[in-house]
Amino acid sequence: MTRFEQQRQFLKSNFHEFKHIKTDKIKGITQPPIVKPFDPKSVLIDLPKVSKDVVSNENIFNCIDQRRSTRFYSADTLCLEELSYLLWATQGITGMNKIGLTLRTVPCSGATHTFETYLMIMRVEGIQQGIYRYLPVEHKLLFMFELDELEQKIDAVTLDQPFVPNFAKKAAVLFAWSTTPYRSEWKYDISAHKKILIDVGHVCQNLYLSSESIGAGACAIGIYDQKLIDEILRLDGDEEFVIYLSAVGKKRE
């Protein structure tokens, strides 16, 4: 039992302890950027304006009812309008609060939004295969680089899958959410980490439901090679690292 104890503590609220901590915010240390900065010389791709025209199943009851983790995909591409919609549904900015933090399509503890969305794109109409990052403020894609042997690398990242071997590489897109914990630690100190994990669950659930609404399916992936995915995405693995993945593709008939 003892080896579970520490892990179980992590699941509990530590607000009592947190209340007595002088956080970096209280100390007056500058707030970290609310989104990851990017090189202005980067290649940016405009995403189509988000429209409900892509939605074939507008019925929220049916989307919730029919959602399943989908590990078999058709060979169909996603169109750019659909990708734009999925990115908006998972991290899109829909407002600002009084202190200049982004409000998004997903709830998030203290609006700290510690996530960045990386995409390993296999089949999206008009987009070359490769690695991209979503820029939520601009609602654009940032092209990062092409990756040789993309599908083999996805296999290596997603390790031995317990249900359907090697399914992730057959998706149209693999979403990889990173976290930059300090965006939350600055405000919540030792309480940040549990919140971050809860927050990312909301993001992935919106991917499931928005995918369902366009005839696509998602499958969350918690079994992945941490070091390899961080290396591939060129993340330092400490200040920023991948926390969760999900494959998405059109459903098979």
Ligand X SMILES: Cc1cc2nc3c(=O)[nH]c(=O)nc-3n(C[C@H](O)[C@H](O)[C@H](O)COP(=O)(O)O)c2cc1C
User: Rule CB under 6 A: which residues touch ligand X?
Assistant: 68-69, 71, 161, 163, 219-223
Sequence-distant (≥ 6) Cβ neighbours of residue 30 within 8 angstroms: none
Helix (H, G, I), strand (E, B) or coil at 89: helix
Nearer Cβ to ligand X, position 95 or 222?
A: 222
CB closest to ligand X, residue no: 222
Helix (H, G, I), strand (E, B) or coil at 116: strand
Running DSSP on this structure, what letter comes out for residue 147?
A: -
Nearest distance from C-beta of residue 172 to ligand X, angstroms: 17
Nearer Cβ to ligand X, position 135 or 242?
A: 242
Nearest distance from C-beta of residue 168 to ligand X, angstroms: 8
Nearest distance from C-beta of residue 226 to ligand X, angstroms: 13
Nearer Cβ to ligand X, position 23 or 69?
A: 69
Nearer Cβ to ligand X, position 21 or 64?
A: 64
Task: Let me know: does 228 contact 156? Beta carbons within 8 Å.
Answer: yes
Six token digits for residue 178: 């990173």
Nearest distance from C-beta of residue 124 to ligand X, angstroms: 22
Nearer Cβ to ligand X, position 71 or 104?
A: 71
* Angstrom distance (rounded) from CA 118 to CA 132: 6
Nearer Cβ to ligand X, position 89 or 219?
A: 219
Integer angstrom CA distances of residue 9 from 1, 2, 14, 47, 209: 13, 11, 8, 42, 31
Nearest distance from C-beta of residue 207 to ligand X, angstroms: 11
Sequence-distant (≥ 6) Cβ neighbours of residue 93 within 8 angstroms: 102, 103, 104, 136, 137, 139
Nearest distance from C-beta of residue 193 to ligand X, angstroms: 16
Nearest distance from C-beta of residue 167 to ligand X, angstroms: 7
* Angstrom distance (rounded) from CA 84 to CA 126: 13
Task: Let me know: does 168 contact 158? Beta carbons within 8 Å.
Answer: yes
Nearer Cβ to ligand X, position 15 or 163?
A: 163
Helix (H, G, I), strand (E, B) or coil at 252: coil
